[in-house]
Amino acid sequence: MIRALLALLMLAAPACAQEATATFGTGPTPFLLRSTTDITVIRPVLTRFAALHPEMTLTYEQWGSNALFARARADCRNGADPADALFSSAVQQMVWLVNAACAAPHRSAATLALPETRRWRDELWGVTSEPAVIAYNKRLLPAEAVPRSRFALLDALRETPELYRGRIATYDIGASGLGYLFAYSDSLEASTFGALMEGFARVDAVATCCSAEIIAGVAEGRYLLAYNVLGSYAINAAGRDVGMILPEDYTLVLSRGYMIPKGSDQRALAGRLLDFLLTPKAQAMLTRAGLVSGLEEAETALPQSARRPIPLSPALVVALDANRRALLLDFWSDTFHLGTVP
């Protein structure tokens, strides 16, 4: 119970606000976009959009997902001046905000063309599609030894626990909204989740924060293998000894949620940015940045039936339920050494 309260506190306190900021364009109209995406990844697309709209100055703030959620929720409640658009990978939080009537609707041919799983109430849209992958160090782990599914990973952990001890990394779900979403989706998807957690516990797996840090650890060889990291980060690091596996049993596919807060001053511009992000040109740029699909570049051919898109639906509010979260976090922290959390 205390842990649940702690988790709530962590959720509510926007300790560190934005992690980084960038501006695009120099026009008189200010436009504020808050996102969880790394600036480096999204920069080309936003530069292009700023070029198309010279009247605007786009301020891009990069936030942690939980802090972003807390800020957006507070803005919505207090009626404060919110961001003009939100773009977050923790889509359960976006769903919560839409469910709480914090979003403004937008309709266009581009949004209506989205599949049902990537659109909710015309207030939340999934712009990207990124798989949750197993990243590994090509240098340290020979290709034939790489587990290609969760079952193979379980077997490997059982057979050679000493090889993996302390060298498996995954998100700390208490700190990362995205990590929590993946863990939650895993817990719904298959019974392998519990076995996997136990396996991770046996080999003293490391739960840590932030995709970039995990990938860097894999590239440097500190970690042999990282479970459930976003494919986009793995692709960007592909040149540096980092291999990527789409688990063959199933692969979660995340679609980052784009939302226009109800109090946005620049709703029309926010709608245009959304439509722009959905154009084939922008999608091609996002593909190059690894934010769209990336499935073709994987080393394993993934059948369509193994793809599990995380749908934008009200059922995602379960992921944010306090009791449920407490249960999952309890189970999680029983498994991992909390001491390794920075």
Partner 1 sequence: MTEPPHGPHPEALPAPSLAARVLGAVLVILLLGGVLVAGSTWWNGRLAARQSYDRLLLGAARDIAESIRIQDGAPLVDLPVSAFELLAQAPEDRVYYAVTGPGGRFITGLDATLKIPAPPRGAAGTAFFEAPLNGEPARFVRITRRFVERNFSGPVEVVVGQTQRARRAMTGQLVLDAMLPMLAAGIALLMMSWVVVRRALRPLEALTGDLARRDPYDLTPMPADGLPRELQVMLGAMNRFMGRLDAQVSAMRTLISDTAHQLRTPVAAIRVQAEMALSDPGEQARGRALERLLARTRSLGTLLDQLLSRALVIHRTDSAQRTAVDLRETALEIMEREDHLLLAPGSELRLEIGEDPVIVRADAFSLGEAARNLLSNALRHGQAPVRLGAERRGDKALLWVQDSGPGPDPAVVARWGQRFNRSAGSSEDSAGIGLSIVSAVARAFGGRVETRADADGFRVALVLPAVDPPEKEPPA
> How far apart are alpha carbons 124 and 119 in whole angstroms?
6
DSSP H or E run through 259? strand 257-259
Work out how close the CB of 340 gets to partner 1 at its nearest, in angstroms, rounded to a whole number. Answer: 28
- Residue 57 binds to partner 1 (criterion: CB under 8 A): no
- Residue 313 binds to partner 1 (criterion: CB under 8 A): yes
Minimum CB distance to partner 1 smaller for 96 or for 223? 96
C-alpha dist (Å) from residue 224 to 134, 158, 173, 255:
10, 16, 20, 27
> How far apart are alpha carbons 247 and 268 in whole angstroms?
40
Question: Which of the stretches 59-67, 84-92, 115-123, 286-294 binds partner 1 when contact is defined by CB under 8 A?
Answer: 115-123
- Residue 324 binds to partner 1 (criterion: CB under 8 A): yes
Q: Checking DSSP bridges between strand 257-259 and strand 124-126, what pairing results, if any?
A: antiparallel
Minimum CB distance to partner 1 smaller for 33 or for 124? 124
- Residue 121 binds to partner 1 (criterion: CB under 8 A): yes
- Residue 323 binds to partner 1 (criterion: CB under 8 A): yes
Residue from the set 2, 112, 116, 143 that interacts with partner 1 by CB under 8 A: 116
Pinpoint the alpha helices (H) of the chain: 2-12, 39-52, 65-78, 91-99, 109-112, 150-159, 161-164, 177-189, 192-202, 211-220, 231-236, 267-278, 280-288, 322-335
Work out how close the CB of 312 gets to partner 1 at its nearest, in angstroms, rounded to a whole number. Answer: 10
Question: Which of the stretches 37-45, 143-151, 197-205, 314-322 binds partner 1 when contact is defined by CB under 8 A?
Answer: 314-322
Minimum CB distance to partner 1 smaller for 188 or for 301? 188
Residue from the set 12, 13, 80, 188 that interacts with partner 1 by CB under 8 A: 188
122 exposure class (CB count in 10 Å sphere: 0-12, 13-18, 19+): middle
| Residue found by looking up tokens 């592909």 in the block | 238
Binding string to partner 1 for residues 155 to 174, with x set by CB under 8 A, is what? --------------------
Residue 152: partners with Cβ closer than 8 Å, 6 or more residues away? none
Contacts with partner 1 by CB under 8 A lie at 1, 77, 96, 98-101, 116, 120-121, 188, 313-315, 317-318, 321-324, 327
